[in-house]
Structure 1
Amino acid sequence: MPAESPGPPVPDNPPAALLAMLPRLTQLSAAFTKGRLTDRATEAAGLAVDRPAIGVLMTLRTAGKPLRVGEIADRMQVVGPHVTRQVQALEKRGFVRRVADPHDRRASLIELTEAGMEGADRYVTSLFGWFDEALTDWPAQDRADLTRLLARLVDDVTARLARFEENGGHGGHGGHGTNDLG
């Protein structure tokens, strides 16, 4: 009996644009890792926390509201106990606090403290500064196109992965035959 595929079937002849893009994504990921972009931004922000803790801070910052641990985990695409450990460490540092969930007295929400908000903002400012410098020679339209297309890519990949998980990890073709890559 053949092993089940971890996702949709791979086409026999992937579009050339897709084949050209995948190594570039790998190169970009490696550049971020090798360049220690996250670490540098964390240092510049004056935050002595590790990457997973930055992930929790940024998840709360981008949410703009207190979240349950499970919501943070879902948004970070990690398991709850991982987030719980990070939240406990961030609480000790004064970056987050637990508050009562107004909709469920048995549950608590995690919110940024003023120090957590300021640290997250410094981190984002450092990242934006780095990206702004990297893209300084790009025309405004190219920057706008990058923002629009990157948002679309993230939304589509996230939605497809969510469908994959909803199907118990047996994501078939969702019937979306359009392909802007080739």
Structure 2
Amino acid sequence: MSEMGNSADGESAVSRVLPRLMQLGTVLNRSQVTERAMDRVGIPLDRPAITVLVTLRVAGQPLRVGEIAARMQVVGPHVTRHLHELERRGLVRRVTDPHDKRARLIELTSDGGAAAGRYLETVVGWFTGALADWPDEDRQTFGRLLTRFVDDLTAHLGAVDDEPAP
């Protein structure tokens, strides 16, 4: 038996949470969190471009194009298009992979790292402020459960996407 009990109990619990998830999506869209944070970056970037920079910043190391794409859950050509523009603007650069001299990695320049840092600082600040009055144990539990939920939902929906059409 699952942690939620039987299937009917699990469906009931999800049914009660679903409106809150929809409300969260609405709040994030209406408040334009991403757009407002991108404005604070100080460099005009679109959402995919800032996502590339943040992906590299969070990784803390240069990555191959395919790994950036996998972390963003998009295809490689989508990332490549944005990398050309980011490279032209001096926010990323291509470097030789020290483990495979034939391969290239993408790394942040100091300007790209600073832009990603300003974006993350803004978003993390807003979320930290929203959780400021929560006890530390609640913040840790929330983080653990949210991570688990997103990972499990991503895996489940990926499996659904891979199913043949009826």
- TM class by shorter-chain length? 0.7 to 0.9
Q: What TM-score comes out, normalization by structure 2 length?
A: 0.84
Match of 1:43 in 2: 39
Q: Secondary structure at the match of 2:162?
A: coil
- Following superposition, the deviation at residue 78 of structure 1 comes to 0.7
Displacement of 1:27 in angstroms is: 1.6
1:83 counterpart residue number:
79
CA distance in 2, matches of 1:56, 1:118: 13
Q: Counterparts in 2 of 1:19-58, with a 5 A limit?
A: 19-58=15-54
Structure 1 gaps of 5+ residues are 1-10, 172-182
Following superposition, the deviation at residue 161 of structure 1 comes to: 4.7
Q: 1:12 offset after TM fit, Å?
A: 7.7
What TM-score comes out, normalization by structure 1 length? 0.78
Q: Which residue of 137, 152, 155 maps to 1:156?
A: 152
Partner of 1:124: 120
Question: Measured at CA, do residues 12 and 169 of structure 1 come closer, stay the same or move farther in structure 2, by a change above 3 Å?
Answer: farther
Higher relative contact order (CA 8 A, sep 6+): 1
1:55 corresponds to which letter in structure 2? T
Aligned residue for 1:110, secondary structure, equals strand
One-letter identity of the residue aligned with 1:19: S
- 2:163 corresponds, among 153, 170, 175, to 170
The answer to whether structure 1 residue 62 and structure 2 residue 58 are counterparts is yes
> C-alpha separation between the residues in 2 aligned to 1:47 and 1:124?
14
Q: Provide the rounded CA distance (Å) in 1 between the counterparts of 2:147 and 2:123.
A: 17
Separation in structure 2 between the aligned mates of residue 83 and residue 122 of structure 1, nearest angstrom: 21
Greater helix percent: which structure? 2
Q: Corresponding residue for 1:175? A: none
Task: Report how many residues are paired.
Answer: 158
Partners of 2:100 and 2:138 in 1: CA distance: 46
